[in-house]
Amino acid sequence: MWQTQRALQTFYLNAMEKRKRYEALTKERYQEIYRLAYWLCKDHHLAQDLAQETFLKAWRFFDKLNDPNAAKSWLITILRRENARRFDRKQYDFVDIDECAIQTKTYPGSDYDMAQDWLQKQMMILEPKYREPLLLSLVAGLNHDEIAQALRLNHNTVATRLFRARNQIIAQKESH
């Protein structure tokens, strides 16, 4: 009887600790995951859904997160898979990028606003193999190693793709 009570007490304490760590992770990373989800889908409500699905999946598999330092790239990997699954589950109509520019906190028509729109359009033109690492770098703020882990690539491949993506955007800027 005493061992059963001790086991239940240990289980309860472990569950409470897990919940605290998960809540801290959610509080720390939710905005980043939402922002990246928005960049991926360009829809506020869908981005909220993707972020929520990401954190639900993270809770389900939270025990598999062995290294807390890898949490950000782990969440991004989950988000990317959830985003891919939405196309498997339902066929969406494609939307013209010009119709759904990201809202900024500046006045419409400002130089910053126009530069942001231009950069977004240029990023969407890039091939996905170049766009994804650049997006993870600029929007999610990941370093090369974190991007490599999230995309399951080696460090040199990430560095090369980032270099080529930036060069393609610079070339577009110089041609205009």
The alpha helices in the chain, defined as continuous H runs, are: 2-41, 44-60, 71-89, 111-125, 128-138, 144-151, 155-175
What are the Cα distances from residue 83, in Å, to 26, 66, 67?
A: 19, 24, 24
Render pLDDT for 64-76 as a digit per residue (tens, 0 to 9): 888 888 899 899 9
For every residue of 148-170, DSSP letters joined together read HHHHT--HHHHHHHHHHHHHHHH
Task: Show the CA angle centred on residue 133, arms to residues 21 and 70, nearest 5°.
Answer: 20
Higher per-residue confidence, 55 vs 83: 55
Render pLDDT for 107-133 as a digit per residue (tens, 0 to 9): 455 677 777 778 888 888 889 899 889
The answer, yes or no, to whether residue 51 has pLDDT greater than 50, is: yes
Stretch among 4-18, 38-52, 84-98, 106-120 having the lowest mean pLDDT:
84-98
Render pLDDT for 127-165 as a digit per residue (tens, 0 to 9): 989 988 988 888 888 889 989 988 889 999 999 999 999
Render pLDDT for 29-40 as a digit per residue (tens, 0 to 9): 999 999 999 988
CATH annotation of 1-92: 1.10.1740.10
- Cβ-based neighbour number of residue 133 at 10 Å: 27
Q: Is 159 exposed, middle or buried (0-12, 13-18, 19+ CB in 10 A)?
A: middle
Amino acid occupying residue 102? I
How is domain 111-176 classified at the architecture level of CATH? Orthogonal Bundle (1.10)
Average pLDDT, stretch 53-70? Answer: 90
What are the sequence ranges of the domains in the chain?
1-92, 111-176
